[in-house]
Chains A and B, each alone.
Chain A
Amino acid sequence: MPAPPSAEPAASPFIQIRGLHKSFDSQKVLQGIDLDISRGETLVLVGPSGEGKSVLLKHIIGLLHPDAGSIQFDGTSLCGLSERQLAPLRRRIGYLFQNAALFDSLTVAQNVAFPLIEAGIKNPAEIKSRVQEALEVVELDAHTEKMPINLSGGMRKRVGIARAIVGRPEIILYDEPTAGLDPIVTDVIDHLIKRLQKRYHVTSVVITHDIASVFKIADRIVMLKNGIVYFNGNPDQLRHSPDTFIQDFIAGRSGMTS
Chain B
Amino acid sequence: MIAPSASTLSPQLPTPQSVPSLRRMDDSSRGPISTLGRAVLNFINYFGQLGILLGEGFESLVKTKPRLHLTMEQIVRIGFGSQVVVIVTGAFTGAVFTAQSYFKFRDFGIESTIGSIVSVSLFRELGPVLTGLMVAGRVGAAMAAEIGTMKVSEQIDALRAMGVHPVDYLAMPRFFAMTISMPLLIAEAVAFGLGASWFVAVLGFGIPSAWFWMHTIDHTNLEDLSYAMTKGLVFGMLIVVISCHQGLSTTNGAVGVGQSTTRAVVFSSLALLVTNFFLTLLLNYIFPMGTIT
Chain A, range 40-83, C-beta contacts under 8 Å to B: 58, 61-63, 83
Q: Which residues of B contact A83 (CB under 8 A)?
A: 160, 165
Determine the residue in chain A with the shortest Cβ distance to B162. A115
Ranked 3 nearest A-B pairs via Cβ = A87-B163, A101-B154, A101-B158
B153 on the interface (CB 8 Å rule)? yes
Q: Which residues of A contact B63 (CB under 8 A)?
A: 84
Contact A101/B155 with A84-B59, A84-B63 known, Cβ cut-off 8 Å: yes
A90 on the interface (CB 8 Å rule)? yes
Q: Which residues of A contact B162 (CB under 8 A)?
A: 90-91, 95, 114-115, 118
Q: Which residues of B contact A102 (CB under 8 A)?
A: 155, 158
Chain B, range 15-64, C-beta contacts under 8 Å to A: 59, 63
- What is the number of residues of chain B that contact chain A, defined by CB distance less than 8 Å? 15
B274 on the interface (CB 8 Å rule)? no
Contact of A87 among B59, B150, B157, B165 (CB under 8 A): B165
- What is the number of residues of chain A that contact chain B, defined by CB distance less than 8 Å? 23
Smallest CB separation, B274 vs chain A (Å)? 32
CA–CA, A10 and B63, complex, Å: 40
- Enumerate chain A interface residues (CB-CB to B < 8 A): 58, 61-63, 83-84, 86-91, 93, 95, 97, 99, 101-104, 114-115, 118
Contact of A97 among B59, B149, B157, B165 (CB under 8 A): B157
Q: Which residues of A contact B153 (CB under 8 A)?
A: 99, 101, 104
Determine the residue in chain A with the shortest Cβ distance to B163. A87
B155 and A91 within 8 A (CB): no
B281 on the interface (CB 8 Å rule)? no
B161 on the interface (CB 8 Å rule)? yes
B163 and A63 within 8 A (CB): no
Q: Which residues of A contact B164 (CB under 8 A)?
A: 87, 118
Q: Which residues of B contact A63 (CB under 8 A)?
A: 157, 160-161
Q: Which residues of A contact B59 (CB under 8 A)?
A: 84
Q: Which residues of B contact A90 (CB under 8 A)?
A: 160-163
Instruction: Identify the interface centre among B158, B160, B161: most chain A CB within 10 Å of its CB.
Output: B161
Smallest CB separation, B168 vs chain A (Å)? 9
Smallest CB separation, B145 vs chain A (Å)? 13
Q: Which residues of B contact A99 (CB under 8 A)?
A: 153-154
A88 and B157 within 8 A (CB): no
A88 and B154 within 8 A (CB): no
B163 and A97 within 8 A (CB): no
Q: Which residues of A contact B150 (CB under 8 A)?
A: 103
- Chain B 250-261, CB-CB to A under 8 Å as 1, else 0, gives 000000000000
